[in-house]
Amino acid sequence: MPNPASPVPAPWPAPPQPEPGCAHCADLDNRRTTAREQYDRSAETDCNVMLRRHLREVRP
C-alpha cells in the first residue's frame, strides 16, 4: 500500500520560466498567459514548447 504522506509526482513537467531580461522570453510568456486566460490549451502548450526550445538556445 502506498504511503499517503509521500508526495505524488506530477504527470507532466512544470512549465518553463522565462529568462529575466530576454525580450523573446517575455513575448512567449505573454502569449502563453493570454492563451491560458482564453482557455486555449493548445496555444499554451505551443508557447511552452517554443519557450523550452528558446531556453536551450539561450542557456547551452
| pTM, rounded to two decimals | 0.77
What are the pLDDT digits (tens) for 17-53?
Answer: 999 999 999 999 999 999 999 999 999 999 999 999 9
Does 11 reside within a domain? no
Any domain includes 48: yes
Higher pLDDT, 15 or 9: 15
Q: Is residue 31 part of a domain?
A: yes
Range(s) of the domain holding residue 40:
23-58
Residue 29 inside a domain? The answer is yes
Q: Which residue has the higher pLDDT, 6 or 12?
A: 12
**Is residue 13 in some structural domain?**
no
Q: Is residue 1 part of a domain?
A: no
Residue 40 lies in a domain: yes
In a domain, 33, yes or no: yes
Q: How many domains does the chain have?
A: 1
- Please check whether residue 16 is in contact with residue 52, taking contact to mean a CB–CB distance below 8 angstroms: yes
